């Protein structure tokens, strides 16, 4: 491609608000993105190989650290995979505890995303409020496990710690305080005309593209795919409580944002029901599994970003013979190529963030000139462009 | 250190580099900016360009691809630039040390002034680490 | 098994080299590599399955690739296994059916040395571009101590 009109925009690589390093190379013609390349590898730590060198009970601590934001999703999927090999029946109390931990994580993960999206849109108040709302949830886990994140709750055969009744009451109280905040965000997302015009019709991903890429999670559900691993392949206490899976059709950023907000309400409801049950469902929380028989198993769980998938092969020794890990962002980030092409440079940062990548990609975006390879905008500049567009709309100007 | 020492201990411009992290440390760093901890009241701000940085915050175990970038960024930073290794990965590599793609830890590649261990270190731990750093820098001047 | 998957059984069970329902909602099928495209196409197009990911394993005597498909309507995971020659493992690329296979095939190529025929571009995904040729970390005979050293550390003269 030697079209000299096409410029490349470099985003990042190191933008303060971006945590995760991957490279997005945007090819821009005028103001429109015409092509995008994704370059990975800045995070590859060889976890599948490391897993083969650890015994089954050590692996949850390893896979927890694949991703800091959904650090429950990987251990959850992993223990489900090993339990799929062994066929054990997990104690009921442990199932409720697993569900609570997983859903509270969904809450603080979605709040995190909401904050980042707010920042990109230029609403730094939204960022501060959303992240402030996360704090009581993190404090709850610190009280329970000693760590705000990476709490090491999952083990093969159950969970590592039991909940005291006092904790269940604390949980209920934190959720009661959270709901008005969620109401505020829901109002902001659905009622603010500037926000809506920023997000509606932008970054659209079609149903067919979602299928072709194997997209999962809110990204897929925003485009009409009615899939959710918690419901489709029932696990833990999900079949024992009432909840719904929100699905929309528009496939744009607005739909993705709305779905995450609606999911937060569902998470609150699930946690309340489970916490209530935990006051009466008694018993052990750990099977004390000592041996994993030979075989192979699959565990998948609906992480905040989508289906997290683990496959484990056991040869009867005390270590995984093979451990395959597929994070939801692996399939979802690839969809960016479709979602961002045709959008403007001002929207690019937002479209990339809408996927809620497990790595926050805003840092490493570079736009390359298809003709000269020259850099036009850094990552920070791309975010500023995004914020500036919102400001223009707020003032009644043209997008 | 030099004439910019005073500037360093009054208002710190910090550049954050994620070198193969899981992101937990990075999120806790950003948490320091939120109302509960509010690092900006100490005059510490995150900036977007290494060329204006007084301090380089590094997270992650630094894999082969990230290692080249870390060295390059450190070279681009105007000296003096203090380097803060945040989290167990940056301090030592922890469980990722034995891997085929490991190229760290941070102090193998660039000189580190402060280590803030933890997985992740709490925002309070980071603030304490920065306070120690400022005291250390003042101590060297004296 | 649910209706669409009954069609799958009717059409492919007799041709399969192995067919095992290990648990409720966990089906493992071994097929000939030459049947891969047809099998995957049937699962993706006719059964409406979603391609999840693929796991390649060096089992010493061979290299296997296990393709994981999810039939979300019923919750069944359908896993299709092919066994490839260890010295020159090669199989048709599923990118001919859906783009979602592109990255994982690049990953399996670089970590295990499998060639995916008709893949649009097998190049590094996770490993650095200067990774030595023919060295595949997930192979059983991978020698980590034979890797070139990573980015050189700072020498004594760089110390402050």
Strands A306-314 and A295-303 come out as antiparallel
SS3 (DSSP) at B93: coil
Strand partners for B18: B59
The answer to whether ipTM exceeds 0.90 is: yes
Give the integer Cα–Cα distance in Å for A123 and A119: 5
- Written as six digits, the tokens of A95 are 């199932």
Would you tell me how many other CB atoms lie within 10 Å of the CB of residue C39?
22
Structure tokens belonging to residue A115: 């904050």
Q: What is the tally of structural domains in chain B? A: 1
At B1, is the pLDDT very low, low, confident or very high (cuts 50, 70, 90)? very low
pLDDT at residue A373 in the model: 62
Could you give the CA distance from residue A222 to residue A228 in angstroms, rounded to a whole number? Answer: 12
- Quick one: fold of A47-326? Cytochrome-c3 Hydrogenase; chain B (1.10.645)
pLDDT one-digit tens code per residue, B63-122: 998 998 899 889 999 988 999 999 999 999 999 999 999 998 999 999 999 999 999 999
C55:A322 CB<8 A? yes
Using alpha carbons, select from A259, A227, A265 the residue that is nearest to residue A243.
A265
Comparing CA positions, the residue from B33, B31, B91, B32 lying closest to residue B60 is B91
Residue ranges covered by each domain of chain A: 6-43+341-394, 47-326
Under an 8 A CB cutoff, do B102 and C150 touch? Answer: yes
pLDDT for A386: 84
pLDDT digits (tens, 9 = 90+) for B55-65: 999 999 999 98
Cβ neighbours around A187 below 10 Å, total: 11
Residue A269 CB coordination number (10 Å): 16
**What is the separation, in whole angstroms, between the first and last Cα of chain C?**
68
Residue A141: the pLDDT is 92
Q: What are the strands, taking DSSP E only, across chain A?
A: 6-10, 23-29, 32-39, 154-155, 158-159, 295-303, 306-314, 320-326, 365-367
- Tell me which residue of B89, C100, B82, C128 sits closest to A65, measured CA to CA: B89
Q: Where are the alpha helices (DSSP H) in B1-122?
A: 5-10, 24-31, 64-76, 88-92, 106-109
Supply the pLDDT for residue A6.
Answer: 58
pLDDT at site A296: 97
The pLDDT tens digits along chain A (399 residues) read 344 455 555 444 444 333 344 577 888 888 888 888 888 888 899 999 999 999 999 999 999 999 888 789 999 999 999 999 999 999 999 999 999 999 999 999 999 999 888 888 888 888 888 989 999 999 999 999 999 989 899 999 999 999 999 999 999 999 999 999 999 989 888 888 888 888 999 999 999 999 999 999 999 999 999 999 999 999 999 999 999 999 999 999 999 999 999 999 999 999 999 999 999 999 999 999 999 999 999 999 999 999 999 999 999 999 999 999 999 988 998 898 899 999 998 888 888 888 877 543 344 555 555 566 666 676 667 778 888 888 888 888 655
- Alpha carbon B109 to its chain's center: 13
Residues of chain A found within 8 Å of residue B49, distances taken between Cβ atoms: 378, 380
Radius of gyration of chain C (CA): 19
Residue C151 scores a pLDDT above 90: no
For residue A26, the SS3 value is: strand
Using an 8 Å Cβ cutoff, are B15 and B77 in contact?
Answer: yes
Mean pLDDT of B120-142: 80
What is the predicted pLDDT for the residue at B142? 34
Largest CA distance in chain C: 72
- B74 CB neighbours in chain C (<8 A) are none
Q: What is the pLDDT of residue A13?
A: 43
What whole-number distance in Å separates Cα of residue B110 and Cα of residue B50? Answer: 15
Q: In this complex, which chains have at least 3 CB pairs below 8 Å with chain C? A: A, B
The answer to whether residues B63 and A43 touch, using CB atoms and an 8 Å cutoff, is yes
Tokens, residue A220:
């897929």
Domain ranges of chain C: 3-139
Q: Is A223 exposed, middle or buried (0-12, 13-18, 19+ CB in 10 A)?
A: buried
Q: How many CA atoms lie within 13 A of B25 on its CB side?
A: 31
Q: Which residues make beta-bridge pairs with A302? A: A307
Sign of CA dihedral B46, B47, B53, B56: positive
Where is B114: in which H helix or E strand?
strand B114-116
Q: Is A316 helix (H, G, I), strand (E, B) or coil?
A: coil
Using only the alpha carbons of chain B, give its radius of gyration: 14
The candidate with the shortest Cα–Cα distance to B7, out of B39, B41, B55, B66, is: B55
Count, residues in chain A = 399
Pairwise CB contact (< 8 Å): C53 & A326:
yes
Q: With an 8 Å Cβ cutoff, is A341 touching chain C? A: no
Best mutation site among C18, C47, C53 for testing chain A: the one with the most A CBs within 10 Å? C53
**d(C-alpha B79, C-alpha B73), whole Å:** 12
In the stretch 263-322 of chain A, residues with CB closer than 8 A to chain C read 295-298, 300, 307, 309, 311, 313, 322
User: Which residues in chain B are contacts of A17 at CB distance < 8 A?
Assistant: 30
A21 and B19 within 8 Å at the Cβ level: the answer is yes
What residues contact A291, with CB distance under 8 A and at least 6 apart?
A318
Does CATH number 3.30.460.80 belong to domain C3-139?
A: yes
Q: Are strands B82-86 and B114-116 parallel, antiparallel or unpaired?
A: parallel
The answer to whether A380 contacts B50, with C-beta atoms less than 8 Å apart, is no
- Interface contact flag, A232 C99, Cβ < 8 Å: no
Is C73 in a helix, a strand, or coil? Answer: coil
What residues of chain C lie within 8 A of the CB of B108, using their CB?
153-154
- Closest in C128, C137, C151 to B71, CB measured: C151
pLDDT category, B134, cuts 50, 70, 90?
confident
User: A115 vs chain B: nearest CA distance in angstroms?
Assistant: 11
Interface with A, mutate which of C50, C102, C140 (most A CBs under 10 A): C50
Q: Testing the interface with C: which of B80, B109, B136, B137 to mutate, by most C Cβ within 10 A?
A: B109
B100 contacts on A by Cβ (under 8 Å): 46, 49
Chain A residues touching chain B at CB-CB below 8 Å:
13-21, 41-46, 49-50, 53, 61-62, 65-69, 71, 112, 128, 131-132, 135, 147-150, 358-360, 363, 378-380
Task: Give the mean model confidence (pLDDT) for residues C65-89.
Answer: 97
CATH code of the domain containing B102:
3.40.50.12280
pLDDT score of C156 more than 60: no
Given a contact as 3+ CB pairs under 8 Å, which chains touch A? B, C
H-only helix segments in C68-149 = 102-112
User: Looking at CA atoms only, how far is residue C154 from chain B in angstroms?
Assistant: 5
Tokens 């193998």 correspond to B108
Among residues 229-258 of chain A, which lie with CB inside 8 Å of chain C?
Answer: 232-234
**What is the SS3 assignment for A299?**
strand
Question: Chain B residue with minimal CA distance to C149?
Answer: B103
CB contact under 8 A, C144 and B100: yes
Report the half-sphere exposure of A393 (CA within 13 A, side-chain side): 19
B15: contact with A, CB 8 A cutoff: yes
CA distance A266 to A268: 5
Residue-wise burial string across A10-34, b where 16 or more C-beta atoms lie within 10 A, e elsewhere: bbbbbbbbbbbbbbbbbbbeeeebb
Find out whether B54 and B28 touch, Cβ atoms under 8 Å. Answer: no
Nearest chain B residue to A43, by CA: B20
Q: Which of C128, C158, C160 sits opposite B64 (nearest CB)?
A: C128
**pLDDT digits 0-9 by tens, B17-41:** 889 998 899 889 888 877 778 777 7
Instruction: Please state whether beta strands B12-18 and A23-29 pair in parallel, antiparallel, or not at all (unpaired).
Output: unpaired
Q: For residue A307, which phi and psi values (nearest 5 degrees)?
A: -65, 125
* Two tokens, residue C138: 């997930």
User: Do the beta carbons of residue A153 and residue A386 sit within 8 Å?
Assistant: no
Return the closest-CA partner of residue B50 out of B86, B83, B99. B83
Contact by Cβ (8 Å): B100, C137: yes
Backbone angles phi, psi at C104, to 5 degrees: -65, -30
Among the listed residues A5, A47, A74, A52, the one whose alpha carbon sits nearest the alpha carbon of residue A317: A52
User: How far is the alpha carbon of B133 from chain A, nearest alpha carbon, in Å?
Assistant: 21
> Tokens standing for A313?
């092969």
Instruction: Give the global pTM.
Output: 0.92
């Amino acid at each position: 491609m030697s079209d000299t009109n096409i410029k490349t925009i470099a985003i990042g690589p190191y933008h303060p608000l971006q945590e995760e390093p991957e490279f997005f190379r945007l090819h821009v013609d005028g103001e429109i993105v015409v092509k995008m390349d994704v370059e990975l590898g800045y995070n590859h730590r060889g976890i599948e190989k490391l897993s083969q060198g650890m015994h089954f009970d050590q692996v949850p601590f390893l896979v927890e650290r694949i991703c800091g934001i959904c650090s429950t999703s990987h251990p959850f999927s992993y223990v489900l995979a090993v339990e799929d090999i062994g066929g054990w029946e997990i104690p009921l109390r442990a199932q409720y505890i697993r569900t609570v931990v997983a859903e509270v994580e969904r809450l603080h993960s979605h709040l995190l995303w909401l904050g980042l999206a707010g920042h990109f849109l230029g609403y730094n108040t939204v960022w501060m409020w959303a992240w402030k709302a996360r704090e009581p949830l993190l404090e709850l886990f610190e009280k329970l496990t000693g760590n705000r994140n990476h709490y090491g709750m999952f083990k093969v055969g159950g969970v590592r710690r039991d909940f005291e009744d006092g904790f269940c009451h604390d949980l209920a109280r934190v959720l009661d305080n959270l709901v008005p905040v969620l109401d505020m965000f829901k109002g902001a997302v659905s009622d603010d005309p500037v926000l809506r015009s920023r997000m509606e019709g932008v970054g659209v991903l079609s149903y067919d593209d979602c299928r072709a890429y194997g997209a999962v999670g809110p990204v897929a559900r925003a485009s009409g795919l009615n899939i959710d691993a918690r419901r489709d392949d029932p696990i833990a206490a999900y079949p024992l409580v009432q909840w719904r899976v929100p699905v929309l059709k528009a496939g744009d950023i607005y739909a993705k944002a709305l779905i995450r907000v609606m999911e937060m309400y569902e998470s609150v409801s699930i946690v309340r029901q489970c916490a209530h049950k935990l006051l009466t469902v008694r018993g052990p929380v750990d099977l004390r599994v000592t041996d994993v028989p030979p075989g192979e198993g699959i565990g998948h769980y609906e992480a905040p970003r989508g289906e997290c998938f683990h496959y484990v092969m056991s040869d009867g020794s005390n270590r995984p013979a093979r451990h395959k890990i597929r994070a939801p962002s692996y399939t979802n980030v690839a969809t960016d190529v479709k979602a961002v092409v045709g959008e403007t440079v001002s929207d690019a940062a937002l479209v990339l963030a809408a996927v809620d990548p497990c790595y926050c990609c805003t840092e490493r975006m570079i736009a390359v000139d298809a003709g000269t390879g020259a850099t036009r905008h850094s990552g920070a500049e791309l975010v500023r462009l995004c914020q500036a567009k919102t400001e223009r709309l707020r003032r009644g100007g043209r997008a | 250190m030099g004439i910019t020492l005073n500037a360093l201990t009054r208002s710190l411009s910090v550049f954050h580099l994620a070198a193969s992290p899981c992101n937990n440390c990075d999120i806790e760093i950003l948490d320091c900016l939120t109302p509960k901890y509010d690092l900006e009241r100490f005059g510490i701000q995150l900036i977007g360009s290494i060329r204006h940085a007084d301090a380089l915050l590094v997270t992650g175990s630094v894999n082969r691809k990230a290692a080249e970038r870390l060295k390059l960024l450190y070279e681009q930073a105007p000296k003096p630039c203090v380097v803060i290794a945040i989290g167990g990965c940056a301090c030592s590599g922890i469980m990722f040390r034995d891997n085929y793609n490991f190229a760290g830890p941070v102090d193998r590649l660039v000189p580190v002034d402060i280590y803030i261990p933890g997985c992740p270190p709490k925002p309070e731990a980071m603030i304490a680490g920065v306070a120690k750093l400022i005291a250390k820098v003042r101590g060297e001047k004296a | 098994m649910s209706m669409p998957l009954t069609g799958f059984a009717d059409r492919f069970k007799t041709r399969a080299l192995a067919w095992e329902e290990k648990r409720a909602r966990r089906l493992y099928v071994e097929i000939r590599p030459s049947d891969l495209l047809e099998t995957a196409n049937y699962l993706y197009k006719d059964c409406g399955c979603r391609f999840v990911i693929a796991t390649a394993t060096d089992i010493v005597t061979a290299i296997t690739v296990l393709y994981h498909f999810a039939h979300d309507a019923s919750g069944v995971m359908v896993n299709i296994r092919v066994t490839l020659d260890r010295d020159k493992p090669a199989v048709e690329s599923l990118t001919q059916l859906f783009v979602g296979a592109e990255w994982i095939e690049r990953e399996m190529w670089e970590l295990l040395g499998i060639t995916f025929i008709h893949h649009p571009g097998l190049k590094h995904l996770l490993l650095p571009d200067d990774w030595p040729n023919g060295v595949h970390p997930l192979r059983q005979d991978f020698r980590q101590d034979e890797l070139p050293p990573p980015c050189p550390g700072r020498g004594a003269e760089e110390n402050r």
